[in-house]
């Protein structure tokens, strides 16, 4: 009887694992924060457009359209999907400069770092 119960439990766990892998596939394109800090490069970016995509527990989800200005490379356009607190979201208007990190091998991977005002950093997240 105990062996039958053990087999049922093992099969149930295996089934849950397999169904989970099918329904929630691992994104091979995702990058952890640690990986980003190692391979991504810093650049300034100009916010060109902002789209509110949602609200979640005191934060506002935004899609930022930016023009990134990397050193020694041509500028490129990118999109950032980030969540900001209300005071942070209020600072984001078209024309604001921000600091970002980007993947030199894949310009679609851009991360928000902090706000920049002229040459002075006035807000770090």
Does a structural domain hold residue 44? yes
pLDDT of residue 41: 87
**In 3D, which of 43, 37, 49 has the Cα closest to residue 100?**
43
Does a structural domain hold residue 68? yes
- Total count of domains within the chain: 1
Does a structural domain hold residue 84? yes
CA gap 125, 89 in Å, rounded: 12
**119 vs 111, higher pLDDT:** 111
Does a structural domain hold residue 119? yes
Backbone angles phi, psi at 105, to 5 degrees: -85, -15
CA gap 125, 112 in Å, rounded: 9
Domain that holds residue 56: 32-124
Does a structural domain hold residue 72? yes
Does a structural domain hold residue 107? yes
Does a structural domain hold residue 9? no
Mean pLDDT of 91-106: 89
pLDDT, tens digit, 9 for 90 and up, residues 22-31 = 444 444 345 5
Longest dimension (CA), the chain: 74
Asked whether 66 and 79 are in contact (CB, 8 A), the reply is: yes
Asked whether 58 and 12 are in contact (CB, 8 A), the reply is: no
CATH number at residue 86: 2.40.50
Q: Show Cβ contacts of residue 92 under 8 Å, excluding neighbours closer than 6 positions.
A: 47, 50, 62, 64, 84
pLDDT, tens digit, 9 for 90 and up, residues 22-79 = 444 444 345 555 565 568 888 899 999 999 998 888 888 899 999 999 988 899 999 9
């Amino acid at each position: 009887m105990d062996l039958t119960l053990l087999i049922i439990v093992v099969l149930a766990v295996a089934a849950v694992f397999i169904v989970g892998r099918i329904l929630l596939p691992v994104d091979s394109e995702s990058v952890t924060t640690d990986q980003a800090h190692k391979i991504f490069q810093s650049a300034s970016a100009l916010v060109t457009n902002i789209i509110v995509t949602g609200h979640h527990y005191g934060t506002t989800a935004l899609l930022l359209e930016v023009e990134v200005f990397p050193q020694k490379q041509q500028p490129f356009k990118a999109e950032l999907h980030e969540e900001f607190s209300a005071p942070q979201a209020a600072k984001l208007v078209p024309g604001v400069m921000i600091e970002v990190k980007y993947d030199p091998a894949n310009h679609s991977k851009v991360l928000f770092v902090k706000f920049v005002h002229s040459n002075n950093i006035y807000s770090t997240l």
